[in-house]
Amino acid sequence: MNTSFAFRFLENVKDNRQSLVVFCSSVINQDQVIKCIKEESERLPIHNNVYLIALDKHKDDLKKLISSASFTNEFRALVNDDTSKLKGLIVDGLGDFSNIDAGIRYNTKIATAILQSGSLEIFKSRKGVITSSSSYHFEKPSGDHCDKFIRTSNLLISSAEVTFLALSLLPFLKSHISRVYIDTSSIAFLISTAVQLSANCTGRNVSIASFESYAVFKQPYDFTEDEKALIVISATTSGSLAKEMIDKKGFGTSQYVTLFHVNLPNNQQGLFDVSSVIEGGITSVKPENCPFCMREAKLIKISGDQFLPETPKHELLVIRKNDFKDRESFFTEFATRNVLEWNKSSSTTAEYNELFFINVKNAVGNKSDSFSKSLEKFKKRYIAKDVNALIYLGDEGSEALANYLKDDLTIYSADEITEEGVKKLDSVIVVAGAITSGRKLLSVSRKLRNLRECSTITYFVGFSKLPTKDAMDQLKKDLEQGGHQFVLVRDCSMPRVKKDTYTAWSSEIDFWRPFKSEDPMGVAEVELPDHFSLREAHLLNENFTANDLFLTDPHRNALKLRPTFAFWSGLDLDTNKASQADVFWTVQAVLHDLRIKSQEKGLAATYHTTLISPVCFDRFNDGVIQACLLRAARPVELDYSIDENFSRQMTDIILSILKNFDNSQGEGALEFLLALASGRLRLLKTNLQEIVNLLMVHSNELLSFFNAPLAKLLEK
């Protein structure tokens, strides 16, 4: 077993020559010490001093080694015949360094530099920071989200290194300390080592107990809150755990010490500042401000002493026609018929527009189609003789469906109904044109609690867009309590898009904003072409039609579906009548289904990220379909920068599209460039440089505009 630990440090920051430290944690072994010095001298010349450091109980062994002729001869051979560079230091049980010859306390500044440099070497070599990729990030026990976190247990591997780290704890183990509380059991070995080394703890029983980090605030913990306790926190990037404990527990600020830290508040004590060896720093934010969630990167919780059960994997998924099979009947009924719309408001009182909007009024307008025939069947089956009222949700679609069903029944808006007023009603039908969450139906059900006991409620829903079967089953169960009925005519599960959901269009707005001169934060160095200025105005005013979802082709023509759309092949649909909204609904439905499939076949998994294969953009080569894929995909599903081969494949496809900008092969060029420039689609920088090089000499004004923002990404 190796009981020596070697590293380098700067005695003087103005002098760039490094000194070597060899720390011996137990009985000094000459062969191990020489081996350490030899390995270091072969790696880099030793231009300054060599410090041999031992514990005070091994002082005599260290003296014997330094005076040994065999050792000094080997030392001279390794460091250019200069024994004056050899320094012997010992560390006592209080953590003080002293010269082995003079027996006096050694230069405190150098001792501090030795302890800090050694801890940083351990941190780097043992990989003390766990880093996410762009496809996932972490939730700390505090609840904050981060791209990196410090895992102290990674550092406590070697007994020699643990003993070295323990030296820095010795000054905190005062003679009155009898209890040490730690935030994780993974550092118990380190604390136990420090207690054994401490001169103040000799012959005393010092207890060590873990309070399990933030779990201490969720469950009772039996602290003995007096001055005899020391609280040691393994790591922090903000000092939040110590701060909360200081506020809520009965310990003084001086009783807390953190081992490894970044951004430690000035009023807290810390041993090892590791900020200088964490490349790019650590981003740690509240969930509501999380940029990684905004990119829909998967969230992995850090719990206790555990991390990941496996290494995250990345694979490609090829989308196939068969993935649309379960959706064919729905889209045969409603696509190309002005039913599937985009970004519309369901009523004048709605808080926000619905990204996936079903125009129920248009759906019930044709009394000869299959949907109307289904309504007739449901109408005959569920409208019983004792029903005397229809209550519809307060939107135009629900009102249209209620009018279709009413015959001679009285119609009420749900907004008009009061809990007192329902006492006058017999059995009722609650009509919803299209539901996204079912929240409004549950609200109406609460209003109907005063209905007569013998009366029944039938919840009649034209369309459901609830995202999963589980969500639908739960809603049905809640509404049917008390013997009521839930009736659904058509189901089309889609992703839930809320008011604050960050969509591809949100990303687009953020991309255009800095180019506007009236933006006080604008930093753009290129002028926004009028074509894009108009696009931004449309976005901000939400002044859209079903064919305004995407950027145009490079010649300013709206993207249109060509006759050969694989998903609609064999269906009775006229592609000439297809809107961009119809195509977007189709593609989004396919991706949604793939996300909720099993881990082996779908896009979703906990520690497993599947990207949309670049092959999909070759197979579905209509510009409008490519735009749908780019907008419907989550950013993590388009992050080809995680793999060199993935990035190469996607780059080749984009280059081909840009080179064919003047024909149908390049229809989607602007959408690809926007996806890259806004960060939704990512490539390795070497591949992105190829695209920038092409745009530098491109003749098309709209394409060449993207050269500057893409070049800026290369600087980050």
Partner residues linked to 300 by β-bridges: 138
- Whether the predicted pLDDT of 340 surpasses 60: yes
pLDDT tens-digit readout, 386-400: 788 899 998 999 999
What confidence tier does 106 reach under pLDDT thresholds 50, 70, 90? confident
Q: Using CA atoms, how far apart are residues 549 and 627, in angstroms rounded to an integer? A: 9
Q: Using CA atoms, how far apart are residues 338 and 298, in angstroms rounded to an integer? A: 35
Q: Which CATH number fits domain 353-491: 3.40.50.1220, 3.40.50.2020, 3.40.50.150, 3.40.50.1360?
A: 3.40.50.2020
Is the CB of residue 666 less than 8 Å from the CB of residue 553? yes
Helix or strand (DSSP H, E) at 294 = helix 291-294
What confidence tier does 608 reach under pLDDT thresholds 50, 70, 90? low
**What's the mean pLDDT in 655-672?**
94
Residues in the chain: 716
pLDDT, greater one: 585 or 483: 585
- Whether the predicted pLDDT of 295 surpasses 70: yes
**What's the mean pLDDT in 198-205?**
89
Q: Give phi and psi for 230, each to the nearest 5.
A: -120, 135
**What's the mean pLDDT in 242-271?**
91
Token digits for 442? 């549950």
pLDDT, greater one: 346 or 441: 441
Fold equal for 129-301 and 353-491: yes
Q: Using CA atoms, how far apart are residues 594 and 603, in angstroms rounded to an integer? A: 6
DSSP 3-state of 690: helix
Token digits for 199? 């001169």
Unique residue bearing structure tokens 């593609």: 587
- Whether the predicted pLDDT of 278 surpasses 70: yes
**CB environment 151-160: b (16+ within 10 A), e (fewer):** bbbbbbebbb
- Whether the predicted pLDDT of 103 surpasses 80: no
pLDDT tens-digit readout, 528-540: 899 999 998 888 8
- Whether the predicted pLDDT of 159 surpasses 80: yes
What is the per-residue pLDDT for 447? 85
Tell me the average pLDDT of the chain.
Answer: 88
What is the per-residue pLDDT for 599? 47
Using alpha carbons, list the distances in angstroms from residue 663 to 36, 67, 471, 649, 656. 66, 84, 45, 22, 11
**What's the mean pLDDT in 276-281?**
89
Is the CB of residue 297 less than 8 Å from the CB of residue 636? yes
- Whether the predicted pLDDT of 308 surpasses 50: no
User: Which residues, in sequence order, are CB contacts of 608 under 8 Å at separation 6+?
Assistant: 312, 313, 314, 315, 599
Helix or strand (DSSP H, E) at 615 = helix 615-619
- End-to-end, the C-alpha distance of the chain in Å comes to 45
Closest CA to 182 of 235, 121, 145: 235
DSSP 3-state of 412: strand
**What's the mean pLDDT in 333-348?**
88
- Note the CATH number of domain 129-301: 3.40.50
User: Which residues, in sequence order, are CB contacts of 518 under 8 Å at separation 6+?
Assistant: none
- Whether the predicted pLDDT of 307 surpasses 70: no
Token digits for 643? 């793999």
User: Which pairs with CB-CB distance under 8 Å and at least 24 residues apart come from 399-403?
Assistant: 399/433, 400/360, 400/361, 400/364, 400/433, 401/360, 401/364, 401/375, 401/431, 401/432, 401/433, 401/460, 401/462, 402/431
Domain-wise residue ranges, the chain: 4-108, 129-301, 353-491, 504-715
Rg for the chain, CA atoms, rounded = 34
What DSSP character marks residue 549? S
DSSP letters, 491-503, are E-------TT---
What confidence tier does 422 reach under pLDDT thresholds 50, 70, 90? confident
DSSP 3-state of 642: helix
What is the per-residue pLDDT for 601? 53
What is the per-residue pLDDT for 133? 77
Using alpha carbons, list the distances in angstroms from residue 605 to 60, 374, 406, 507, 614. 59, 37, 46, 25, 20
- Whether the predicted pLDDT of 310 surpasses 60: no
Is the CB of residue 65 less than 8 Å from the CB of residue 140? no
Q: Give phi and psi for 228, each to the nearest 5.
A: -85, 0
What is the per-residue pLDDT for 441? 93
Q: Which CATH number fits domain 4-108: 2.170.140, 1.10.3470, 3.30.750, 3.80.30?
A: 3.30.750
Q: Using CA atoms, how far apart are residues 634 and 282, in angstroms rounded to an integer? A: 24
- Whether the predicted pLDDT of 612 surpasses 60: yes
**What's the mean pLDDT in 203-228?**
86
What confidence tier does 368 reach under pLDDT thresholds 50, 70, 90? low
Question: pTM (2 decimals)?
Answer: 0.67
CA contacts within 13 A on the Cβ side of 647: 16
What is the per-residue pLDDT for 306? 45
pLDDT tens-digit readout, 32-64: 999 998 988 888 888 788 999 999 999 999 999
Using alpha carbons, list the distances in angstroms from residue 391 to 377, 428, 444. 20, 7, 9
- Whether the predicted pLDDT of 204 surpasses 90: no
Unique residue bearing structure tokens 């960050």: 502
Token digits for 99? 């010269």
| Out of 94-108, 567-581, 694-708, least confident range | 94-108
What is the per-residue pLDDT for 322? 92
pLDDT tens-digit readout, 313-332: 678 889 999 999 999 999 99
- Whether the predicted pLDDT of 421 surpasses 80: no
Strand runs (DSSP E) across 465-575, as ranges? 485-491
3-state secondary structure 40-99: HHHHCCCCCCEEEEEEHHHHHHHHHHHHCHHHHHHHHHHCCCCHHHEEEEEECCCCCEEE
Quick one: CA torsion of 489, 493, 495, 500, rounded to 10 degrees?
A: 20
Q: Using CA atoms, how far apart are residues 84 and 594, in angstroms rounded to an integer? A: 70
Using alpha carbons, list the distances in angstroms from residue 539 to 3, 356, 358, 502, 513. 66, 16, 21, 14, 11
Token digits for 665? 């092969």
Token digits for 224? 């003995």
Q: Using CA atoms, how far apart are residues 666 and 630, in angstroms rounded to an integer? A: 15
User: Which residues, in sequence order, are CB contacts of 241 under 8 Å at separation 6+?
Assistant: 141, 142, 183, 213, 214, 233
What is the per-residue pLDDT for 302? 78
